Amino acid sequence: MLAAIPILAFAGNREMAAALIIVKRIGKAIRTPARDTILSYATMAVGRGWGFGDALDQVGAVAGPPVILAALVVTGGYMDGFLVLAIPLIGVAVALFLAWSAVPSPRFLEVAEKRGDYTPSILPYATFIFLGMAGFATFPLVSFHLKAQAIVSDAAIPLFYAGAMVVSVFVALLFGRVFDRLGSHILLAIPIISLATDLLAFSADPRIVVAGSFVWGAGIGIFEPVLRASIAESTSLERRGRSTAL
């Protein structure tokens, strides 16, 4: 399903592009719970917040937009950029094979196991996820605003996203460490960040949109690692996979 992204290079119409994006999102829905469950096992030794705040996924998100930007500048189209994105996907398969060879049973990474049944405290977190994401603007919506209102050129839109991801890298590391000290209370910042994103990112002034993009990146840097760390902390090992799927 990861191959749906480079295959976008051959999408001849909006319907095919939409279908490939849906396939990509289905793939994300399948792999994300497994990934978060494995990380929940591995992060107990270093701290949940610090482990889930690992910036490698955000670094990858920063690296992708310049590829698309280069394709736009050199060729004037998106095709070559999407094709180049097939290279890291090959690396994904290699890295997964090496990880599986080294640690075939990731659950044993969690030495001090938290056993027991499915804890009821997961329900408030699930409610928070639903309400939080319902009110949190996505960057595709921001980029559509930039494109539809002709606020910036097409080539500049990936730079907005890359800048937001740079912010998310540092925020994720910082607030991951803060979570290990203060707990999930820092999630209270999410509604404030969501409101600030809506007020800034949908402006007609590109300078204000840049600020809104940075705020959006900060929200991603807090929301994703801290929320996943909170779920890992509040659920038993036996139910961890089901919990992360929420």
Q: Which of 223, 226, 234, 196 is nearest to 212 (CA)?
A: 196
- What is the share, in percent, of the chain residues with pLDDT greater than 70? 77
Q: Does residue 120 have a pLDDT over 50? A: no
Q: Does residue 243 have a pLDDT over 60? A: no
Q: What is the pLDDT of residue 118?
A: 47
Q: What is the pLDDT of residue 211?
A: 92
Q: What 3-state class would DSSP assign to 190? A: helix
Query: Which sequence spans correspond to the domains of the chain?
Result: 4-110+118-245
- Mean of the per-residue pLDDT values of the chain: 77
- Report which of residues 169 and 119 the model is more confident about: 169
Q: pLDDT tens for residues 96-119? A: 788 788 777 766 666 554 544 444
Q: pLDDT tens for residues 71-86? A: 777 877 778 878 888 8
Beta strands in 30-92 (DSSP E): none
Confidence band, pLDDT 50/70/90 cuts, at residue 200: very high
CA distance 16 to 186: 41
